[in-house]
């Protein structure tokens, strides 16, 4: 007889339910014996393993814990937890409120972070999807642009084997916001257009609902439209297929056939569009767009899996320098497509963060709030140690192990954490609409397993962190000392408890300081004099034709209609002055100009790029920029494209003594400097002031009009009327320049508003903790207070006695947090070219308010304690 192998039986013994184990083992042995006889030991062993493995099923597996006592113990722990709760409702309510408020904040922050992280990540190719950027030299360091030469995409797809697909995309340069008029016989709708090369729908996962997207992108006469647009124009996607639409945009126009319908891009997509055209429209309408030296399109591509972008980047660069020897190396590079939202800021040609900073900030905030809430729990439960002491002593004498006591406390804290979590989820549901409005988002609570799993994890983590200290601390008491009625070494405990409060209040103080600084800096930005006037200036794009053709600028052809429009605009009552700019404004998307040469230029200076908006008559006046010398563009002098104006910074860079009348060479012609303006802050305060060359063109698609102060209400309807007369059917959409300026700081403002609420929550939770601690101390010192009163202490002395210990703690927090707050705020302010200076005000106000807040929190309790009637308190025992 061969003895059966041991391991299968050991395994069975390990997992099988005790009650089933023995006879199943017997059966298996019997079977094994028989199989050895029939099939030989090898086969028998295999079959045995198979049988054991197939016995591993839910109804056969025993519970994990080795002692069979687990579930009654758990029941006992839960029962004890509920008894403790009903014994001391005050601290339960304080704990629960603190935890649920804290967890609500954490939940909302996590939802926000999750939403930020998901941005642009819905494309199936996300892992391999990249966008290219190109660097240009500027005096202030390399400048990065998102646009690259149009032919790059095709060349990459053809010549680099690592590239699966590549696509060139142009958003009509945001001219008229990329909005054109799409019309059928019945109606006309403004739609956002996108021009893209063939593989657009292969690179991006925009769902094509019906039709042939591949064919559409290849042919000039076909278009793809969004389902929303199809529904509006033809009532359904299927109806729209094959129908014709008229497109009208100053870039190009024509009659198109709908060959595909796609689902409108979701809100978390950076590419937003209603209609897609073939790239040929760009190439046909603009003679410069197909060049290797002009940046007309964004290039996106899909890399074959397994290719590292670091090793691939030099290859794009090589490709570009092969095509155009003007380019030196390391100019073009690619970054993951979905990174551009959170890591969209470039400094000196390299990624330098972006929105990710706020995501990190909020995660830190969430962690801080959670820690503050946990500290409350720790504090209150260690403070209650004296009450629990007898229970612990008795249990220990009866043989309870330290680990079983620790489990009891952890059970209690995890139970509380889950109660808090349940409340927090409900609170978040209630607050979500409000939160969405604040954060300008459309977040909903996802009820998927991952989210619920995450919640459970947060609950357990919170319960564990909050309960760990009491569990370790309380379970370590020696039964003999505590049953004798002696307090265990209170010294250490007191220090820990005070240390925790110090930590809490340091965090609160840090938050208050940060809030003050951020808010004041934003206020500073709002009121900052920029060197031009942005009040009462409206800005809008002329949606009609500005030039006779797209690249009209250098051909000097102007459009009569637009010319008349500008004339009538200037004559409208209430309009102080009006001008044009080719596109953008002085805030962003300012055109650039490189290849400028002048007398005495050094080799190094040849690569310098200037900011160079193309502006119309009266621009300097409309914007209120200060003229330093010379004159401005004016009809009197019949100015043309070869007359330019500089700012001081440009004069300095070029090194001109008497700039007016001097000549610069650019774009293949001599340009005469007619005037110089003082420096002004373009863009946001994050930007450095750069050298400007104002070029001149009588027409420019973006209109700026200065309205006389106080006449806004009358003037705007007049403008509306004028617009209607010239462009019937097109909406008159304008923005105020000062609003546009503030919009540059949208994330800052949003973050400031959000953090205000979260900081308030953090402070509330801290104060709750302090409140709980005061209640407890006051109760524990009742007798002491009574004796003091009997001996003649006044209410004031007693309040002083009670408050003083807390005041010391808060003062310690002030001492710790103030330098930290100073360091953090001054670092943040360094981001701005100009900002508020950190006066003592920013450090004193938070300290005083924290002190005041803590006094307010404890005053009622100390007062109540001091008012106690000594005879009642002393009678109790």
Residues that bind other proteins (CB under 8 A): 1, 4, 20, 22-31, 33-34, 50-51, 53-57, 59-60
- Report the alpha-carbon distance of residue 39 to residue 28 in Å, rounded: 15
**Residue 23 or 657 with smaller CB distance to other proteins:** 23
Give the contacts of 498 (CB within 8 A, at least 6 positions apart).
809, 812
DSSP designation for 187:
-
**Residue 28 or 654 with smaller CB distance to other proteins:** 28
**Residue 13 or 808 with smaller CB distance to other proteins:** 13
Question: Are 766 and 508 a contacting pair, CB within 8 Å?
Answer: yes
For every residue of 851-874, DSSP letters joined together read HHHHHHHHHHHHHHHHT--HHHHH
DSSP-derived pairing of the beta strands 537-541 and 734-736: antiparallel
| Shortest reach from residue 25's CB to other proteins, in Å | 5
Beta strands in 171-265 (DSSP E): 179-183, 188-196, 208-211, 222-226, 244-248, 253-262
**Residue 6 or 437 with smaller CB distance to other proteins:** 6
| Shortest reach from residue 17's CB to other proteins, in Å | 9
| Shortest reach from residue 14's CB to other proteins, in Å | 15
| Shortest reach from residue 499's CB to other proteins, in Å | 55
| Shortest reach from residue 53's CB to other proteins, in Å | 8
Residue 231 burial (CB < 10 Å; 0-12/13-18/19+)? middle
- Report the alpha-carbon distance of residue 581 to residue 524 in Å, rounded: 28
Question: Are 799 and 871 a contacting pair, CB within 8 Å?
Answer: no
| Shortest reach from residue 351's CB to other proteins, in Å | 56
Nearest Cα to Cα of residue 845 among 831, 865, 825, 829: 825
| Shortest reach from residue 10's CB to other proteins, in Å | 14
**Residue 35 or 323 with smaller CB distance to other proteins:** 35
**Residue 52 or 646 with smaller CB distance to other proteins:** 52
Coil vs helix vs strand at 23: helix
- Report the alpha-carbon distance of residue 143 to residue 612 in Å, rounded: 14
DSSP designation for 547:
S
| Shortest reach from residue 7's CB to other proteins, in Å | 15
CA-to-CA dists, residue 295 to 287, 299, 318, 607, 697, angstroms = 13, 10, 17, 16, 21
**Residue 39 or 267 with smaller CB distance to other proteins:** 39
**Residue 51 or 621 with smaller CB distance to other proteins:** 51
**Residue 9 or 469 with smaller CB distance to other proteins:** 9
Give the contacts of 863 (CB within 8 A, at least 6 positions apart).
795, 799
- Report the alpha-carbon distance of residue 263 to residue 468 in Å, rounded: 51
Cα torsion for 459, 463, 466, 467, to the nearest 10°? 180
Residue 218 burial (CB < 10 Å; 0-12/13-18/19+)? middle
Give the contacts of 37 (CB within 8 A, at least 6 positions apart).
none
Nearest Cα to Cα of residue 702 among 174, 346, 203: 174
| Shortest reach from residue 59's CB to other proteins, in Å | 5
| Shortest reach from residue 201's CB to other proteins, in Å | 50
Question: Are 303 and 130 a contacting pair, CB within 8 Å?
Answer: yes
Tokens 């990459």 correspond to: 156
**Residue 20 or 122 with smaller CB distance to other proteins:** 20
| Shortest reach from residue 66's CB to other proteins, in Å | 22
**Residue 20 or 598 with smaller CB distance to other proteins:** 20
| Shortest reach from residue 34's CB to other proteins, in Å | 8
Beta strands in 668-709 (DSSP E): 669-677, 693-696, 702-707
Question: Are 117 and 359 a contacting pair, CB within 8 Å?
Answer: yes
**Residue 54 or 491 with smaller CB distance to other proteins:** 54
Question: Are 870 and 798 a contacting pair, CB within 8 Å?
Answer: no
CA-to-CA dists, residue 775 to 54, 83, 100, 405, angstroms = 60, 20, 20, 26
Nearest Cα to Cα of residue 698 among 778, 758, 634, 604: 634
**Residue 19 or 713 with smaller CB distance to other proteins:** 19
| Shortest reach from residue 58's CB to other proteins, in Å | 9
| Shortest reach from residue 465's CB to other proteins, in Å | 41
- Report the alpha-carbon distance of residue 324 to residue 56 in Å, rounded: 68
| Shortest reach from residue 43's CB to other proteins, in Å | 14
**Residue 6 or 830 with smaller CB distance to other proteins:** 6
**Residue 41 or 141 with smaller CB distance to other proteins:** 41
Q: Radius of gyration of the chain from Cα atoms?
A: 37
């Amino acid at each position: 007889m061969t003895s059966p192998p041991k391991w299968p039986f050991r395994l069975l013994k390990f997992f099988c339910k005790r009650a089933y184990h023995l006879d199943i083992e017997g059966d298996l042995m019997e079977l094994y014996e028989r199989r050895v006889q029939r099939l030989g030991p090898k086969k028998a062993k295999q079959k045995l393993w198979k049988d054991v493995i197939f016995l591993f099923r839910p109804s056969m597996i025993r519970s994990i814990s080795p002692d069979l006592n687990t579930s009654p113990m758990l029941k006992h722990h839960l029962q004890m937890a509920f008894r403790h709760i009903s014994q001391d409702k005050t601290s339960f309510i304080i704990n629960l409120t603190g935890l649920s408020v804290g967890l609500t904040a954490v939940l909302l922050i996590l939802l926000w972070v999750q939403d930020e992280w998901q941005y642009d990540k819905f494309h199936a190719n996300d892992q391999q999807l990249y966008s290219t950027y190109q660097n240009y030299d500027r005096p202030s360091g390399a400048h990065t642009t998102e646009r690259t030469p149009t032919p790059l995409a095709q060349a990459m797809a053809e010549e680099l084997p690592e590239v699966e697909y590549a696509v060139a995309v142009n958003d009509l340069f945001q001219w008229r916001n990329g909005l054109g008029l799409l019309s059928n016989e019945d109606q006309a709708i403004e739609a956002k257009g996108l021009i893209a090369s063939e593989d657009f729908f292969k690179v991006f996962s925009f769902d094509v609902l019906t039709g042939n997207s591949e064919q559409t992108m290849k042919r000039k006469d076909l278009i793809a439209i969004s389902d929303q647009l199809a529904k509006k124009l033809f009532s359904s996607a299927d109806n729209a297929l094959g129908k014709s639409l008229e497109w009208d945009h100053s870039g190009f126009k024509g009659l198109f056939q709908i060959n595909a319908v796609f689902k409108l891009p979701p809100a978390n997509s950076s590419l937003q569009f209603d209609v897609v055209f073939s790239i040929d429209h760009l190439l046909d309408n603009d003679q410069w767009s197909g060049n290797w030296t002009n940046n007309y399109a964004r290039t996106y591509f899909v890399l074959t899996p397994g290719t590292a972008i670091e090793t691939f980047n030099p290859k794009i660069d090589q490709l570009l320098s092969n095509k155009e020897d003007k380019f030196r190396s390391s100019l073009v590079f690619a970054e993951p497509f979905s990174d551009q939202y959170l890591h969209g800021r470039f400094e000196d040609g390299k990624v330098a963060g972006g929105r990710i900073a706020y995501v990190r900030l909020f995660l830190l905030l969430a962690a801080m709030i959670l820690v503050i809430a946990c500290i409350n729990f720790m504090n209150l439960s260690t403070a209650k140690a004296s009450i629990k002491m007898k229970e612990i002593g008795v249990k220990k004498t009866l043989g309870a192990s330290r680990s079983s006591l620790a489990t009891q406390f952890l059970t209690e804290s995890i139970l509380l954490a889950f109660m808090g979590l349940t409340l927090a989820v409900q609170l978040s549901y209630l607050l979500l609409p409000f939160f969405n409005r604040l954060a300008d988002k459309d977040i909903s609570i996802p009820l998927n397993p991952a989210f619920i799993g995450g919640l459970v994890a947060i609950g357990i983590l919170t319960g564990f962190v909050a309960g760990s200290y009491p569990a370790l601390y309380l379970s370590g008491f020696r039964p003999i000392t505590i049953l004798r009625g002696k307090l265990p070494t209170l010294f250490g405990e007191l220090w820990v408890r005070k240390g925790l409060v110090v930590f809490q209040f340091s965090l609160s103080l840090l938050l208050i300081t940060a809030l003050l600084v951020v808010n004041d800096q934003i206020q500073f930005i709002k009121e900052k004099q920029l060197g031009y006037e942005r009040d009462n200036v409206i800005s809008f794009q002329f949606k009609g034709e500005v030039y006779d053709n797209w690249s009209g600028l250098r051909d000097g052809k102007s459009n009569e209609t637009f010319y008349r429009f500008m004339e009538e605009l200037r004559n409208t009552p209430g309009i102080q002055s009006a001008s044009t700019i080719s596109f953008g404004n002085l805030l962003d998307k300012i055109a650039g100009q490189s290849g400028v040469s002048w007398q005495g230029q050094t080799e190094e200076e040849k690569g310098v790029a200037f900011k160079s908006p193309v502006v119309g008559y009266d621009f300097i006046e409309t914007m209120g920029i200060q003229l330093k010398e010379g004159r401005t563009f004016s009809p009197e002098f019949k100015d043309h494209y070869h007359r330019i104006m500089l700012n001081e910074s440009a004069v300095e860079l070029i090194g001109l003594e008497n700039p007016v009348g001097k000549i610069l060479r650019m774009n293949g012609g001599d340009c005469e400097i007619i005037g110089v303006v003082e420096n002004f802050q373009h863009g946001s305060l994050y930007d450095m002031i750069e050298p400007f060359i104002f070029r001149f063109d009588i027409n420019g698609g973006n209109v700026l009009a200065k309205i006389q102060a106080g006449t806004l209400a009358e003037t705007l309807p007049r403008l509306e009327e004028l617009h209607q007369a010239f462009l019937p059917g097109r909406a008159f959409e304008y923005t105020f320049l000062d609003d546009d300026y503030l919009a540059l700081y949208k994330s800052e403002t949003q973050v400031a508003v959000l953090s205000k609420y979260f900081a308030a929550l953090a402070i509330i939770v801290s104060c709750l903790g302090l409140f709980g601690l005061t209640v407890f101390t006051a109760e524990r010192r009742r007798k002491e207070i009574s004796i003091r009163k009997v001996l003649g202490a006044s209410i004031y002395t007693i309040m002083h006695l009670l408050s003083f210990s807390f005041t010391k703690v808060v003062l310690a927090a002030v001492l710790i947090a103030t330098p930290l707050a100073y360091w953090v705020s001054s670092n943040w302010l360094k981001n701005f070219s100009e900002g508020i200076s950190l006066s003592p005000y920013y450090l004193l106000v938070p300290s005083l308010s924290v002190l005041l807040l803590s006094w307010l929190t404890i005053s009622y309790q100390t007062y109540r304690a001091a008012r106690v009637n000594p005879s009642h308190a002393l009678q109790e025992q």
